[in-house]
Amino acid sequence: MAPILFLMFFILAIGEEVGWTGYAFERMEKRWNAFQASLILGIIWAAWHLPIYYVE
DSSP H stretches of helix in the chain: 2-17, 25-31, 34-55
Give the separation between CA 18 and CA 51, rounded to whole angstroms: 21
* Catalytic one of 16, 17, 29, 56: 16
Is residue 49 part of the annotated active site? The answer reads yes
Largest CA distance in the chain: 44
* Catalytic one of 17, 26, 29, 49: 49
Active-site amino acid positions: 16, 49
